[in-house]
A and B are shown apart, each in its own frame.
Chain A
């Protein structure tokens, strides 16, 4: 995961745009919580500058 984040950073994007977690299909509440958290984090970062001009 560090490798993928490093690749993003080299390109000029924030490394926080990618994340991996281990979670079981039986952990619905925790999954929702993590997705919400990631979603808030991405909103904070703003849209990907690669998509802005599309």
Chain B
């Protein structure tokens, strides 16, 4: 899932500037699960905005809404009739949702209230870790199911490097060495041979190096049904 983190109230207040009427728009999918922009966070932030703006002498009128997914037209289209009422929409979705709102409703201003941080998972309650970089060319089948692109600080394809000490990364002792994890898992599975082949340089053109990416599935496109 996409993991987000809410911006500070100070930053959000700065973004909103002198807006008088604000709609705080949450998203019911990834940012709900990462406790950054779901219905509950929308309610808390909207209350904070009302209180803070009143204390600062320019009370804002703040409404709340949370849609199932801000990154799909069908879920945000029902918002259209009411958006004209607001000076600003503060989206608590990820960067995809914020852009979807701006693209679909070009006459409204939608600002981000959340920083989109990474693709990952909650490893335990309250702790999220990065697991995928969406590189576009998955190599998990070669690396014992542990991704060195997302989890090795140097994105090495043939690790570990000399900075791996006692199973942790030299970049930060809180980062387990991905290649140590890969080796240990391969040994446990009796598949050390997986790691004997030297991996050639990765084709980064399938990642961001090839520019923004796009997938077209003609079999799914409604325009091509005839």
B is bound to A: yes
Q: Is the CB of B55 closer than 8 A to any CB of chain A?
A: yes
Q: Kindly identify which residue among B9, B10, B44, B51 contacts A50, using a CB–CB cutoff of 8 Å.
A: B51
Number of interface residues of B (CB under 8 A): 10
Is chain A's binding surface mostly helix, strand, loop or mixed? Answer: helix
Interface string of A14-50 (1 = CB under 8 A from B): 0000000000000000000000000000000000011
Q: Which of B2-29 contact A (CB under 8 A)?
A: 8-10
Partner of A10, one of B9, B54, B56: B9
CA distance in complex: A11, B55 (Å) = 8
Q: Is the CB of B55 within 8 A of A7?
A: no
Q: Number of residue pairs across A and B with beta carbons under 8 Å?
A: 22
**Residues of chain B in range 101-131 having any CB-CB distance to chain A below 8 Å:** none
B48: chain A residues at CB < 8 Å are: 7, 10-11
* CB-defined contacts of B51 to chain A, threshold 8 Å: 11-13, 50
- Residue numbers in B under 8 Å from A12 (CB-CB): 51-52, 55-56
**A10 CA to B52 CA in the complex, in Å?**
8
Contacts of A49 in B (CB 8 A): 55
Using a CB–CB cutoff of 8 Å, the interface residues on chain B facing chain A are 8-10, 44, 48, 51-52, 54-56
Q: Which residues of A contact B (CB under 8 A)?
A: 7, 10-13, 49-50
Q: A10-B52, A12-B51, A50-B51 are in contact. List 5 more A-B contacts (CB 8 A).
A: A10-B8, A10-B10, A12-B52, A50-B54, A50-B55
What would 22 A/B residue contacts be, using CB atoms closer than 8 Å?
A7-B44, A7-B48, A10-B8, A10-B9, A10-B10, A10-B48, A10-B52, A11-B9, A11-B48, A11-B51, A11-B52, A11-B55, A12-B51, A12-B52, A12-B55, A12-B56, A13-B51, A13-B55, A49-B55, A50-B51, A50-B54, A50-B55
